[in-house]
Structure 1
Amino acid sequence: MTITVSELYHDTCYFFCKQIRIIFFISMFVTFINMLINMLIKPDVYIASIIENNEFLHSRSLLELIENMDLEEKNALLKYSFFKIIELLISKTVLLGSIIILISILSENKKKSIISSICSLFSFLPSLFMLNFLTTFMIQIGFMLLIIPGILLSITLSLSPIIFSFKEHGLIDSIRLSMHISWKHIKIIGSGILFWMLSKFFLTILLGHIYFINTNILFLILNITMNILFSILIIYLFRFYMIFLRS
């Protein structure tokens, strides 16, 4: 069976439109988790001033900015960065797991109670978190080296959580299989990943130039929209893998 981008696009739009209320609710829920964690990990006053004044962007280099800090400020930045990474991983894992469980339940045509669905999600989240940690670490290493390796790793590793959700492969096997399948179908997978990356970029630029709306409201809108975009990408990748298994 030949897999085409137009077919995946049509299937993704159809599923998204039918389940838009649930996807919107999940996106809002994950956003509120983000907000709650942000309240718990408020940065040091000096780090907060750097973030608010965009000194990371205005400085010649990140290394130069860090070199000008004293030991206490470096420790504060390291601590905040660590908790921020954990926050991003948690929110990504919850969103990814929720959408995958939703698609799995609907694709199996089985009616599950809310409690059993939540139980399935929570049993899936710890191992999915570990997988996200591994893939995110690999992708960030790629972006640290050059932009292109980071993008290629984002594409080739994108199927790993979908493959892992079928519970037929372990963490490493899911990553290995994802790289093999994604590279073989790089045009199809790559178009979805690049569309998602460009959408995130332009959305951030657009909302970043809106000054008449409260910052907290903008943060809420941006996070919900980003979560919806990521949900669409998950649906696209899941649908691809289902068609791939049948071909």
Structure 2
Amino acid sequence: MSITMRNLRDDTYHFVRREIKTIFGISVITTFISILINMLIKPDINIISIIENKQIVNSHAIFDIINNMSIYEKKQLLKYSIFKILEFLISKTFLLGTVITFIMHLSSKEKKITSSLSILFRFLPSLFILNFFITFITQLGFMLFILPGIFLSILLAISPIILSFNKKNGIIDSIRLSASISLKHIHIIGTSVLLWMLIKFVFTTLLSNINLINKNFIFFILNINLNILFSILTIYLFRFYMLFCDIRD
């Protein structure tokens, strides 16, 4: 039995169609977590103006901009950046952990929700650390050149799923196994990750350029949609790893 993109696509479609209400609910809860954290990390008004004007993103003299800031502004920017990274990691960890645990709950004989919640809470700390390493590694790739960042994102895509299947592997082993498996099946994993990145870019670009609607509402709608799409990607990759393990065994 071989793993094909068509089978994975069909399996993912049928699962999402059957469980769309739960996936939507998880995505909404994750969005509210992001909103709550964002409410707690409002930066100084000058930092907001710099971020909203996209000077830090678009300027060719990023370090000049930072050097021209006062010590207070630098501290506020550093504080804001750290909290934004934490917000991203917490949201991604909760979404990934909840979706993976939900899939495992449906496929297991143990149907008690309390058991699944217990598994989820035990899984989240190690998943958070894994996501930190993945984010650090991929962002280094994006900082050097865009292509290494994309390639690393593909190689490390299934590491959270590997960790959930066998926690004895550990974080480093999960990363190593993910890179090895993804490299051998790069046409299957790479296509799905690249499609996710493309859709994310299109959604973010379109909704960010809408000025007639409240920015908070746009943030809410954008995050729900991105969370749903990321959940679908996770389901696709989870199904891939299930089939990979069946073939290997």
- Bin the TM-score by the shorter chain: over 0.9
* Helix, strand or coil at the partner of 1:3: coil
Q: 1:32 maps to which residue?
A: 32
Deviation at 1:201, TM superposition (A): 0.2
Q: 1:223 maps to which residue?
A: 223
* Helix, strand or coil at the partner of 1:244: helix
Q: 1:166 maps to which residue?
A: 165
1:155 aligns with 2:144: no
- What code does the residue aligned with 2:131 have? N
4+ residue runs of structure 1 moved beyond 3 angstroms? none
Deviation at 1:109, TM superposition (A): 4.3
Q: 1:132 maps to which residue?
A: 131
Alignment of 1:53-92 (within 5 A): 53-92=53-92
Cα RMSD for the two superposed structures: 1.2
* CA deviations over 1:52-95 (Å, ceiling 9, x no partner): 22222442232232122122211111111011101100000000
Deviation at 1:213, TM superposition (A): 1.8
Deviation at 1:112, TM superposition (A): 1.9
Distance in structure 2 (CA, Å) of the matches to 1:211 and 1:85: 26
Q: 1:145 maps to which residue?
A: 144
Distance in structure 1 (CA, Å) of the matches to 2:3 and 2:61: 44
Distance in structure 2 (CA, Å) of the matches to 1:12 and 1:23: 12
Distance in structure 2 (CA, Å) of the matches to 1:220 and 1:116: 31
- What code does the residue aligned with 2:65 have? L
Deviation at 1:209, TM superposition (A): 2.4
Distance in structure 1 (CA, Å) of the matches to 2:221 and 2:208: 12
* Helix, strand or coil at the partner of 1:127: helix
Q: Normalising by structure 1, what TM-score?
A: 0.96
Q: After the TM superposition, which of the residue ranges 167-176 and 155-164 deviates more from structure 2?
A: 167-176
Alignment of 1:171-182 (within 5 A): 171-182=171-182
Distance in structure 2 (CA, Å) of the matches to 1:8 and 1:62: 43
Q: 1:212 maps to which residue?
A: 212
Distance in structure 1 (CA, Å) of the matches to 2:98 and 2:83: 22
Q: 1:244 maps to which residue?
A: 244
Distance in structure 2 (CA, Å) of the matches to 1:132 and 1:217: 27
1:118 aligns with 2:117: yes
* Helix, strand or coil at the partner of 1:158: coil
* Helix, strand or coil at the partner of 2:169: coil
Distance in structure 2 (CA, Å) of the matches to 1:106 and 1:23: 13
Distance in structure 1 (CA, Å) of the matches to 2:54 and 2:171: 37
| Corresponding residue pairs, total | 246
Identity %: 58
- What code does the residue aligned with 1:87 have? E
Distance in structure 2 (CA, Å) of the matches to 1:208 and 1:40: 22
1:93 aligns with 2:81: no
Distance in structure 2 (CA, Å) of the matches to 1:209 and 1:177: 40
Q: Normalising by structure 2, what TM-score?
A: 0.95
Distance in structure 2 (CA, Å) of the matches to 1:202 and 1:214: 19
Distance in structure 2 (CA, Å) of the matches to 1:41 and 1:117: 32
Distance in structure 1 (CA, Å) of the matches to 2:34 and 2:57: 23
* CA deviations over 1:103-156 (Å, ceiling 9, x no partner): 11112243122x332222111100110111111100011111111110010000
What stretches of structure 2 of length at least 5 have no aligned partner? none
What stretches of structure 1 of length at least 5 have no aligned partner? none
Q: After the TM superposition, which of the residue ranges 232-241 and 200-209 deviates more from structure 2?
A: 200-209
